[in-house]
Amino acid sequence: MARGQDNGITILLGVKDVKVGEVTEYEDRIVVKASMEKKEEKCPYCGSEKLYKHGKGRTRQVLHSWSRGKGVYLELKRRRWKCRDCKRTFTEGKELIRPYSRITKVGEVEALWQLKDRSFAQVQRDLGISYSTLRRLLERLIDDNMLSSIQNEDEIHLGIDEHSFRHQDLVYTVTEVKQRKMIGVLRDDRIATLREFLSNIPQDKVKEVCIDLKQSLKKLAEDLFPKAQVVADAFHVIADANKRMDEARRIEQDVYQKRKVKIPKKIFLIGREKLSQENKQKVDDLLGKYPTLQGFYWAKEKIRELYRQTDREKATKILDNIIFNLKVADDAELVRWGNTLKKWREPILNYFHNRTTNGYTEGCNTKIKMLKRNIGG
């Protein structure tokens, strides 16, 4: 083990505002103690310059480069700051390393450059980086190139959808729904991953964010794009109504009727306007026989009616009527449904400004699924 001082010009080539301390060489790595030299000038969230230190900060080793067959690690001390205006906290050094990453941006570039004309296995062996890390770096490079396609747009209308390909882990797909452009397919469904990706999109250009009925997505959209309208995707709102309708049917059949009868499923999920007169009568007879289903069927059909309206004013009256009736219902599940619709009232009604949906995003998911099936992935 060797110790010494280094001015950082050789090892830390390409890194600004980093103060280099002791350099220690071990059998398997070179460790450089370092800290950020310059104070953060602006809050990355609101742009305010009113910052103060918050907590002790963190010290961790991150891979930065390679020298003499060994990985060069920065033992990097990064301070945390808090904004006096928006009250949010952040860790300094975002220009050096991405959030949650264990490799600096310089290290990312060097590893990707090695992949230019060498196999994954060769780069893994020579640089000591795992396959999953290399794949993640390559995916991020692709995402960054996709993101560049919307940077010059005057307005951005985002679509975000969660999807699973061939029963694998869930991922997020992000699109520009008006321009019909794929922006990114993220590596997982972690909100932190999505936040990191969306943080690269110009905040002031985003006019709409279309999402499903997931509270964490709603909070993230409102957080990152406070001036944008959050739109609840119409397909997911209707799908949620159908799911609740079918759950009520299943409980009536399996619990109350103790599986002694078979209550048909499909006829309750088809829009009433699409049923023949005979099937409408059949539904009415079933609702008369099983009154616990009446409130669910009424609300499901009123939501379908909601989306047939031509303007927000008419839609508002219908939605408020649905919420009121559900919240005063005797069934606790109907009351919960009413509370959910109340929480999502504005995003549901925002649909009627531009009639924005995630149809294009869903279509991208289908194409990716077909492509993966065709190539055996």
How is the chain split into domains, by residue range?
2-137, 149-233+359-374, 234-354
Write down the H helix ranges in 97-229. 105-114, 120-127, 131-148, 191-198, 215-224
Q: Round the CA-based radius of gyration of the chain to a whole number and report it.
A: 27
**368: pLDDT strictly greater than 90:** no
Amino acid at 356: T
CB-based burial, 100-139: b 16+ in 10 Å, e otherwise: ebebbbbbbebbeebbeeeeeeebbeebebeeebbebbee
Task: Look up the pTM and report it.
Answer: 0.65
Per-residue confidence at 64, pLDDT binned at 50, 70, 90? confident
pLDDT digits (tens, 9 = 90+) for 44-53: 888 888 998 8
Percent above pLDDT 90 for the chain: 45
| Domain 149-233+359-374, CATH | 3.30.420
Q: How many CB atoms lie within 10 A of CB 209?
A: 28
pLDDT digits (tens, 9 = 90+) for 162-193: 876 544 567 888 999 998 888 887 878 889 98
Output phi, psi for 112, to 5 deg.
-65, -35
**3: pLDDT strictly greater than 70:** no
Mean predicted confidence (pLDDT) in 217-246: 97
- The answer to whether residues 92 and 40 touch, using CB atoms and an 8 Å cutoff, is yes
How far apart CA 162 and CA 139 sit, in angstroms, is 17
User: Which residue has tokens 């869930």?
Assistant: 170
Q: Which of 138, 124, 8 is nearest to 75 (CA)?
A: 8
How far apart CA 157 and CA 173 sit, in angstroms, is 14
Structure tokens at 37: 């030299």
* H or E element at residue 245: helix 234-251
At 12 the pLDDT is 47
How far apart CA 55 and CA 52 sit, in angstroms, is 10
Q: How far is CA 169 from the centre of its chain?
A: 14
- The answer to whether residues 335 and 326 touch, using CB atoms and an 8 Å cutoff, is yes
Per-residue confidence at 144, pLDDT binned at 50, 70, 90? low
At 11 the pLDDT is 45
At 173 the pLDDT is 87
How far apart CA 56 and CA 236 sit, in angstroms, is 44
At 9 the pLDDT is 43
At 107 the pLDDT is 84
How far apart CA 262 and CA 369 sit, in angstroms, is 35
Mean predicted confidence (pLDDT) in 295-313: 97
- The answer to whether residues 245 and 296 touch, using CB atoms and an 8 Å cutoff, is yes
At 298 the pLDDT is 98
How far apart CA 75 and CA 73 sit, in angstroms, is 6
Q: How many CB atoms lie within 10 A of CB 237?
A: 20
Per-residue confidence at 14, pLDDT binned at 50, 70, 90? low
Of 78-82, 266-270, 314-318, the least confident = 78-82
Structure tokens at 141: 């490079």
Residue-averaged pLDDT of the chain? 85
Q: Which of 222, 181, 97, 215 is nearest to 361 (CA)?
A: 181
Q: Which of 268, 209, 212 is nearest to 236 (CA)?
A: 212
Per-residue confidence at 324, pLDDT binned at 50, 70, 90? very high
Q: Which of 293, 352, 290 is nearest to 319 (CA)?
A: 352
At 329 the pLDDT is 97
Of 106-110, 271-275, 326-330, the least confident = 106-110
Structure tokens at 109: 């570039």
Q: Strand 51-53 to strand 2-5: parallel, antiparallel, or no bridges (unpaired)?
A: unpaired
Whole-number Cα distances in Å, 199 to 136, 147, 192, 204, 220: 18, 11, 11, 12, 11
